[in-house]
Amino acid sequence: MYVLFCTAFLICFVPDLLQAVDACRSRKADVPGHGVIRLAKFASMGSALCFPFEAMVFTTLIFMGIERELNSPLTYEKIESFRGKVRVFGDDLIVPRDYVLSVVDELHLFGYVVNVNKSFWTGRFRESCGREYYDGHDVSIVKVRQVLPTQRQNASGVISAVALRNQLYWAGLWRSADWMDNLLGPMLKHYPNVAPSSPLLGRESALGYQFQRLHPNYHSPLTKGYRVVAKSPRDSLDGTGALMKCLLGKPWTGFGLPKPVLRAQIDDANVDEEHLERSGRPEHVNIKLGYGPPY
C-alpha cells in the first residue's frame, strides 16, 4: 500500500504527470485467439509506462528497506546522501552492500522474487546491465553470439560479425580483431575504417575514419560501404490516428515537455516516408552497398 501511495502522490502532485502517463497508457490488447481484452494493469509488460513505473516502484521499495535497516524515518537530506549509491535501471538495482538483505526482504514482502543467480553482494564480483566487474575493474568478456558467416548473402551473420570485430578491437584484443578483418575484408570487398557512429558496416578505429569523396551538396565526407537495410512490417494507419501523427509534426509542447525535446522525437519519427504504412520491429534485414557518412 505504501508503494501505491507514493506512486499516487507523485502522479497527483507533479504537474501534468497524470495526463502524460494516461496518454501513454495501453488500455487494450489484441490477443490472438482471444480478441481485444481490456487491460487491468496500469503499466503492463510492453507498455511505454512499464519501464519507468517499475523503476519508480523499485526505488520506493529500496528506500523502504534502507529505512528499516536504519530504524529511523528517512529525511530529504538522508535520501540525498544516497545519490550515486542507489541506482535503478528497470529491474537492475544497485544498492549499498550494508542494506542489501533488508532491501531483499522488502522486495519479497511485496511479492517480487530476486534472481539470486544474477545478484551479487558478497565477494568482489559484481554484474550490472550486461557488464561484469571485479574489485571495481571492468572484466566483461566479448561474446560470440552467432556463427561466423561464410558469404556476404548472410546479412544477419555479417552484421553480427562486424559488431563482434569492433567489440574485440575496443576490448584491446587486436589480434582477434585482425583475424576478423581477414575474414570480413575479402567477403565484403568494401570494408572501410569508420567512426562508431557511422551507419556503414566497417572497422572502428582509434585512428579515425577514411573517406573517398565529398557530398556534392553538403561537401561532407563520403565513403563506399555496406549499410543495414530493414523493412518494418506493414501496419497501415489511417483516420484520426494518421491525422494526429501528421499534425504532431508541428510545434507543440503537450504535457509541459520542452519544445525541442518533443519536436525532435516527432521529427525523427516522421522522416520515413512510409511511416503511415509500416511500423514496428523489422522481420528481416539486408545489407546494401552505397556511399554514406563514415562518421
pLDDT at 101: 92
User: Range with the lowest mean pLDDT among 3-7, 40-44, 62-66, 191-195?
Assistant: 3-7
pLDDT at 121: 87
Q: Which amino acid is at 148?
A: L
Q: What are the cell numbers at 265?
A: 522525437
Q: What is the DSSP string of 152-197?
A: TT-HHHHHHHHHHHHHHHHTT-HHHHHHHHHHHHHHHS---EE-TT
DSSP 278: B
pLDDT at 85: 92
Cβ contact 105:114 at 8 Å: no
Question: pLDDT tens across 81-111, in order?
Answer: 999 899 998 888 999 999 999 999 999 999 8
- Say which residue, 172 or 241, is predicted with more confidence: 172
Share of the chain above pLDDT 90, in %: 31
Interval 226-251 mean pLDDT: 75
- Say which residue, 194 or 128, is predicted with more confidence: 194
pLDDT at 236: 77
Question: pLDDT tens across 184-198, in order?
Answer: 999 998 999 999 999
Strand 137-138's sheet: what is its strand order?
125-128, 131-134, 137-138
pLDDT at 258: 39
Cα(161)–Cα(148) distance, integer angstroms: 6
Mean predicted lDDT score pLDDT of the chain = 81
* pTM of the model as a whole: 0.59
Interval 146-162 mean pLDDT: 90
Cα(212)–Cα(210) distance, integer angstroms: 7
Question: pLDDT tens across 240-268, in order?
Answer: 877 877 776 544 444 343 333 333 333 44
pLDDT at 66: 94
Cα(253)–Cα(34) distance, integer angstroms: 38
Say yes or no to pLDDT of 118 above 60. yes
pLDDT at 224: 92
pLDDT at 67: 93
pLDDT at 49: 80
Q: Which amino acid is at 252?
A: W
For the chain, give every domain's residue range.
Answer: 2-138, 155-233+284-292
User: Range with the lowest mean pLDDT among 119-123, 126-130, 180-184?
Assistant: 126-130
